[in-house]
Amino acid sequence: MSSLIKLLPKNVANQIAAGEVVQRPSSVVKELLENSVDSGAQTIKLIIKDAGKTLIQVIDDGSGMSKEDINLCFLRHATSKIRNSKDLFDLNTMGFRGEALSSISSVSHLTINSNKDSKKDIGNEIKVNGGELVSKSEVLCKKGTSVSVQNLFYNIPARRNFLKSDNVELRHIIDEFHRVSLINHQISFIFINNSNEIFNLKKSIFKERIIRVFGKSTKEKLVPIKESTEIAEINGFIVKPEYSRKTKTSQFFFVNNRFIKNSHLHHAVRSAYEGLIFENHHPSYFLIFNVPNDSIDVNIHPNKTEIKFD
């Protein structure tokens, strides 16, 4: 009797894996922005067309990639950030799994050009369609990396049809941009949507970045927080109770510079506002926790917004 169990074709396996990492255009934005942060970039430019359905491009002036590295970067589990399992508990980068570019390339038309040498304006370019390398060449480009993602989910019509309206998808992209740009205030960010500049954020301190992102009126609403314990250093800002909202907007927890979602931390903050805000209102906050790397595990979920504390 022939076996009922068969190995999946490579392209099918890659599309399944991509479903965990790339759920919508904002997922791509998150991964590419974090890669640029990890590269040591001083300026990061995000270009979006049609809410990311037509184009998502991230350009940075970071470390760039060599010819050898650019030919490996789109392969699954290819990463420069960890070497063994111990490194998972001493992470100093946003990415580490080596799955982002592989997943993105399997469901889009991907073009990457990169230059590692600041003395030469010659770098390398690869084009990958549906996970398959279609071309590689030398190109003129400055030091840094440009990643262009076109026609997202072109080969998975059901996933593409599942996407929401441009307004909804753009809102998700802006949310991801906020999360990355807020905590990385030492980096300049530019965000262009359909040829319109939405944000042009110069490097600044944390408070100034919050004000630049959410508007000048935010300045009078912020209350600084700073606390140090044996297990964590906490700093940032909470928003005055009178500015609480009915929606859970402007709620940011960062642990070791990584945006996270944690119901226990939110409940703790919400409890501190008890009696100060209406029952159906929610506080806003921008809080940064610094803890030893080995006291948390970020390898819980592909989107890396969930962590486990020791």
Q: DSSP letters of 207-226? A: HHHHHHHH-GGGGGGEEEEE
In whole angstroms, give the CA distance from residue 221 to residue 241. Answer: 9
Q: How many domains does the chain have?
A: 2
Whether 263 is covered by a domain: the verdict is yes
pLDDT in tens, 249-272: 899 999 999 999 888 889 999 999
20-34, 83-97, 234-248: least confidently modelled range = 83-97
Spacing of C-alpha 236 from chain mean position: 21
Whether 208 is covered by a domain: the verdict is no
In whole angstroms, give the CA distance from residue 73 to residue 303. Answer: 19
Can you give the residue range of the structural domain that contains 143? Answer: 10-201
Of the residues 174, 201, 228, the one at which a domain ends? 201
Q: Are residues 197 and 227 in the same domain?
A: no
Of the residues 173, 201, 229, the one at which a domain ends? 201
Q: What is the pLDDT of residue 152?
A: 98
Under a CB-based contact definition with an 8 Å cutoff, are residues 93 and 99 in contact? no
Q: Are residues 184 and 85 in the same domain?
A: yes
Q: Are residues 16 and 117 in the same domain?
A: yes
pLDDT in tens, 48-91: 999 999 999 999 999 999 999 999 999 876 565 444 445 444 55
> What phi, psi does 282 have (nearest 5°)?
-130, 140
Whether 254 is covered by a domain: the verdict is yes
Q: Are residues 237 and 189 in the same domain?
A: no
Q: How far is residue 134 from each of residues 71, 113, 230, 283, 286, measured CA to CA in Å?
A: 12, 14, 53, 50, 44
| Residue 287: CATH number of its domain | 3.30.230.10
| Residue 187: CATH number of its domain | 3.30.565.10
Q: Are residues 266 and 125 in the same domain?
A: no
8 DSSP assignment: P
Q: Are residues 112 and 166 in the same domain?
A: yes
CB-based contacts of 7: which residues, under 8 Å, 6+ apart? none
Q: Are residues 83 and 107 in the same domain?
A: yes
Whole-prediction pTM value?
0.89
Q: How far apart are the first and last CA of the chain?
A: 50
Give DSSP secondary structure letters for 54-96.
SEEEEEE-S----HHHHTTTTSTT--SS-SSGGGGGS--SS--
304: confidence class by pLDDT, cuts 50, 70, 90: low
